[in-house]
Amino acid sequence: MKKWYIILMAMITVLTLSACKDARDKVLEEGKVDKAEATDSKKEEFSSVYPLTGLGTNEEVDHRAISVMVNNHPKARPQSGLHKADIVYEVLAEGELTRFLAIFQSEMPEVVGPVRSARDYYIELSRGYHALFVAHGFSPEAREILYGGTIDHLNGMDYDGILFNRADFRKAPHNSYITYENIQKGMEKIGADESDDLDMLAFLTSKSAKAIEGAPANEIQISYPGGETVGFTYSAKKKTYARSSNNEPTIDRETETPITVSNVFIVEAAHRVIDDAGRREINLTSGGDAILIQNGVAQNISWKNENGRIVPDGGAFVPGKTWINIVPSGTTDSVKMQ
């Protein structure tokens, strides 16, 4: 009898321990889920969202956007500060060369440049973000707008050697730089507002971003007429595109940081040469064909001008930085993707 009692108690003990283990494993498994949910929840618990990137932050977001004309001549590369820009517009200036309008709001680099001269359509793009406009030089049309009293601006023609500094490692006109500290000094000098309640761009939710469908777009090549090839290479791990010019990676001069973005937006607009210097008139108001590239896929859509901003018509960006290539009509047909 005693023998059977001992066996029975042993069996009960084994069953009890097994049940406890199962219960403990269940709790641990549930704990993993709860922890993951808590982590996701924690990631979303930000006090604010940057209006031009859609990324959460606990920092103040009411500082004013700063737009800077950045030189893209081969002799001006690599540039400084582009890796900090929320949005970059790449548009043809004269001849076969593009220039960049870099718009900074969520973060600012210590130095930006080389700074180059303004054109009227870059100024109009800057207006859409109520940005302080920074350039060194101007076309006749741009000068009329800048000194018409309707836009806050800092220009190297007024402040060369004061706010704008000439680098000794490059020759003019590819050597004008401005620091963020001097931009702040300039804003104070001209009495420009340093804060702004900037309207938010439209961004996809994480769920909608994962559901994007389109043609594969891991390698993109954009050929400007008679000019160079702009490339973007996708990193599935980082979900970003690294830019290049003629297969040469675009990097920051000071940090050698690759220039990467989450959105590549290629938009067609009518271009017309208006003078012997090769200056252009570009239609940025009527909308047209576009290719929106995100998360490794491309969608053929349309673009529109919404309060001065070039945005997807009926679509949205994924949160992150954006590069907008404005190309002549018919160019999107020659964009290569794989």
Domains of the chain: which residue ranges? 56-190, 206-337
pLDDT averaged over 10-residue windows placed end to end, the chain, 338 residues? 42 43 38 33 75 96 97 97 98 89 98 97 97 96 93 97 97 97 98 95 93 94 87 97 97 97 97 79 93 96 97 95 95 87
* CATH classification (class only), 56-190: alpha beta
How much is the pLDDT for 186?
98
Q: What is this structure's pTM?
A: 0.86
How much is the pLDDT for 40?
40
How much is the pLDDT for 275?
79
Decide whether 56-190 matches 206-337 in CATH topology. Answer: yes
Complete edge-to-edge strand list for the sheet that includes strand 164-166: 111-112, 176-179, 164-166
How much is the pLDDT for 281?
85
Q: What is the 3-state secondary structure (H, E, C) of the chain?
A: CHHHHHHHHHHHHHHHHHHHHHHHHHHHHHHHHHHHHHHHHHHHCCCEECCCCCCEECCCCCECCEEEEECCCHHHCCCECHHHCCEEEEEECCCCCEEEEEEECCCCCCEEECECCECHHHHHHHHCCCCEEEECCECHHHHHHHCCCCCCEEEHHHHECCCEEECCCCCCCCCEEEEHHHHHHHHHHHCCCCECCCCCCCECCHHHHHCCCCEECCEEEEECCCCCEEEEEEECCCCEEEEEECCEECECCCCCCECEECEEEEEEECEEECCCCCCEEECCCCCEEEEEEECCEEEEEEEEEECCEEEECCCCECCCCEEEEEEECCHHHHCEEC
How much is the pLDDT for 36?
33
Q: Can you identify the CATH homologous superfamily of domain 206-337? A: YerB-like (3.50.90.10)
How much is the pLDDT for 192?
96
How many residues in the chain? 338
Q: How far apart are CA 119 and CA 123, in angstroms?
A: 7
79: left (phi > 0), else alpha (psi -120 to 50), else beta? beta
How much is the pLDDT for 332?
80
How much is the pLDDT for 43?
53
